[in-house]
Structure 1
Amino acid sequence: MERKKQWLIYAMLTLATATWGSAFIAGKLAIESFEPSTIAFLRFLGAAILLFPIMWLLEKNRPKPTKKDWGMFALLGLTGIAIYNICFFLASKHAPVIKSSLFIAANPMLIVLLSGVFLKEQITKKQIIGLILALSGVVLIVTEGNIQIITQFQFEPIDLILLVAVISWALYSVLGRVVLKKYSPIVSTTYAVAFGTLFLLPFSLAEQPWDAILHASPTAWLSIAHMSVLVTVVSFIMYYYGIQQIGAAKASIFINVMPVSAVIMATLFLGETFTSSAMVGALLVLSGVYVGTYVRKVRPKKLRNAS
């Protein structure tokens, strides 16, 4: 039974991070009508409207937050919702997709490092091997097999934005592990999204979005709705549930599924070519995820046989 539950958690994390891959495409479509902060605000406003009724219905006996808890929820909203998404949509507008993907691919490594230092989570050799395999696959996918393209990048101001995005998401994942010791994934996600939406509001107002809201294309609105419902409400809850069950370090390995998903969706919906290097990269990512998550599954069995 425990083994089945573990596979269910892995399946949920895979689905959650694969769905995040669609945010690259949805973001590109939405950015044609809206500015970055407004996209982020509308996305999470829609998510908050959905999340609060879900929380009130399913979490009637939730703990009453203390002042410290509210502070933690605010930090989650600031890091993983406000800062990360402003940076993400700025990158969607101003940075090449290859560069953005490479920066985001560094997330699992940073999460593993922070989890080991601050959460004292055990980091195994197989997790590190899995991360290296998956990262190699991501690099192969986003460079389309031309690794030398990385050396052609020059430092630009947008690189600092991308770096902030990576750090803020890593902090969100690690802080979330602390919050999840007391609160469910639904409660944690709802309050984080609520604070993040409030933090995003002044940035959206500064972009003076009135004309864009009135004249945005149906495609842009559908993209925001997709990001609100599937990319945020459904996937964030599944991701946080995964962190709660197996830890931030191990769950972070599944983030490498995101660029694979983005490439496949770009092939299906944008007519891009699925190259042989993308195929090899996808196999490396899946191998890395398998190696990185297989390690602890066999230990309880060995212990039972020894006892």
Structure 2
Amino acid sequence: MKKRLWVIYGMLTLATATWGSAFIAGKFAVQSFEPATVAFLRFFGAAILLFPLMWVMEKDRKKPTLKDHGLFVLLGLTGIALYNICFFLATKHAPVIKSSLFIASNPVLIVLLSGLFLKEKITRNSIIGMAIALTGVVFIITEGHILTLFQYGFEPIDFVLLGAVVSWAIYSVVGKVVLKKFSSVESTTYAVAYGTLFLLPFALAETSWLDVQEASLTTWAAIAHMSIFVTVVSFVMYYNGIKEVGAAKASIFINVMPVSAVIMATIFLGETFTLAHGIGAGFVLTGVYAGTNPNLFKRKLKGNIVKNKTA
């Protein structure tokens, strides 16, 4: 069981680390298309791949009821459409420090909603691990200059950022409900399908056929990467992780995303990897380990009790 748990944790780490590459691929893709169009093309490509995958892997799949389709619509609206629209709007109009910090607060809201609506147990380890990981994320985002956070006051774009955080939290929590009946492949496929439909009007409004024809090979490669690896492979792994360990614990791994984004930006975009990035990454990995190891603090406590008795 313990070995299986580490396989799940490995999948969650790989999934969220791959999400970090979306920031790099997105930089190339938006050179030819507007953000909502990039999101639509990404998920449209993913849907084309996911449906055959579902038909092959899920031979005995259940037929969704009207209520099930309602949940899939909610997943597509929140995690695919609204989250991406809010996220891309924020990257365009908000400082990177502020938008990154808002997104990094996702695990906190997911844990709270999981406790309220799914009755998931919020453990001391989860809270400590989340706090340590979030500290690391703040260190990475601010490059060690934490006081810069206080330079930014309240702005209307903060509502958009809050929308992104709430959308992803709802997506993760509702996903746990859907996964009681459907597999991770089925859940991802239906969510992506509905999300793509929601994104279609935005793509049609801002993109012409000429834009499609003039898009570079690099743009299409970036979109293909986001469709295949960032969406199909990673979303299925993330949902499988939620099914196995719960939304609250799986959410801790979201903190891996900014670490991988910084490392990939250093490799592919020539950005500088600073000491602050290294310290922040250390905090994140420590936080994830603390949050997913239920015996970490118990073991220490037990050791102290034994020591006291022998004394």
* More deviation, 190-199/29-38: 29-38
Mapped partners of 2:226, 2:148: distance in 1: 30
Greater mean deviation of Cα atoms: 245-254 or 22-31 = 22-31
- Residue aligning to 1:253: 252
Q: Give 5+ residue unaligned stretches, structure 2.
A: 299-311
**Is 1:20 equivalent to 2:19 in the alignment?**
yes
Aligned to 2:110: 111
Q: What is the CA deviation profile of residues 30-77 of structure 1, one whole-angstrom value per residue up to 9, with x for unaligned ones? A: 112111111111000000000000000010101111110000001000
Secondary structure of 2:294 counterpart: helix
Give the distance between the partners of 2:209 and 2:96, measured in 1 at CA. Answer: 28
Q: 1: CA distance between counterparts of 2:155 and 2:218?
A: 31
2-structure distance, mates of 1:95, 1:221:
27
Q: What's 1:29 paired with?
A: 28
Per the alignment, residue 301 of structure 2 pairs with: none
Q: For residue 91 of structure 1, what is the aligned residue in structure 2?
A: 90
Structure 1 match to 2:305:
none
Normalising by structure 1, we get a TM-score of 0.94
Amino acid at match of 1:135: L
Q: What secondary structure does 1:123 align onto?
A: coil
Deviation, 1:215, is: 1.2
| Contact residue 137 and residue 283 of structure 1 kept, 8 A | yes
Using the TM superposition, give the Cα deviation of residue 297 of structure 1 relative to its aligned residue in structure 2, in angstroms.
Answer: 8.9
Q: Is the 8 A contact 1:136 1:284 kept in 2?
A: yes
User: 1:235 aligns to what?
Assistant: 234
List runs of 5+ in structure 1 lacking aligned partners.
300-307
In terms of mean alpha carbon deviation, does 254-263 or 158-167 score higher?
158-167
d(CA) in 2 for partners of 1:229, 1:65: 25
Q: Deviations over 1:104-139 (max 9, x none)?
A: 100000000000000000001111000000000000
Contact kept? 2:290, 2:296, Cα under 8 Å: no
CA distance, structure 1, for counterparts of residue 246 and residue 148 of structure 2: 34
Contact 1:112 1:123 in 2 (8 A): yes
Query: 2:40 touches 2:200 (CA, 8 Å); kept in 1?
Result: yes
Instruction: Note the C-alpha offset of 1:153.
Output: 1.5
| Corresponding residue of 1:268 | 267
Instruction: Return 51-60 or 201-210, whichever deviates more.
Output: 201-210
Contact 1:28 1:93 in 2 (8 A): no
Structure 1 residue 100, shift from structure 2 partner: 1.9
Which is greater in Rg?
2
Matches within 5 A, 1:15-94: 15-94=14-93
Aligned to 2:304: none
CA contact (8 A) 1:27 1:92 kept: no
Name the structure 1 match of 2:163: 164
Total equivalences in the alignment? 298
C-alpha distance in structure 2 between counterparts of 1:96 and 1:297, whole Å: 37
Question: Distance in 2 between the 1:24 and 1:215 partners?
Answer: 22
Counterpart residue type for residue 196 of structure 1: G
1:298, distance to aligned residue in structure 2 (A): 10
Name the % identity.
70
CA distance in 1, matches of 2:226, 2:94: 20
1:303 maps to none
For the residue of structure 2 that corresponds to 1:21, the secondary structure is helix
The alpha-carbon deviation at position 95 of structure 1 amounts to: 2.8
Shift in Å, 1:178: 0.2
Shift of 1:157: 3.0
- Mapped partners of 2:292, 2:263: distance in 1: 23
Q: Could you tell me whether the CA contact under 8 Å between 2:132 and 2:286 is conserved in 1?
A: yes
Write the distance in 2 (CA, Å) between the matches of 1:206 and 1:140.
39
- Does structure 2 conserve the Cα–Cα contact (< 8 Å) formed by 1:138 and 1:281? yes
Note the aligned Cα RMSD (angstroms). Answer: 1.4
Find the aligned partners of 1:238 and 1:272 in 2 and give their Cα distance: 29
CA contact (8 A) 2:34 2:207 kept: no
Whether the 8 Å contact between 2:20 and 2:261 is mirrored in structure 1 is yes
Q: Distance in 1 between matches of 2:255 and 2:134?
A: 7
Q: Does 1:280 align with 2:279?
A: yes
Query: Equivalents in 2 of 1:209, 1:140: separation in Å?
Result: 41
Q: Could you list the runs of 4 or more consecutive aligned residues of structure 1 that deviate by over 4 angstroms after TM superposition?
A: 296-299
Q: Any conservation in 2 of the 1:31–1:93 contact (CA below 8 Å)?
A: no
Preserved contact between residue 43 and residue 224 of structure 1 (Cα < 8 Å): yes
CA distance in 2, matches of 1:152, 1:211: 42
Question: Matches of residues 214-229 of structure 1 in structure 2 within 5 Å?
Answer: 214-229=213-228
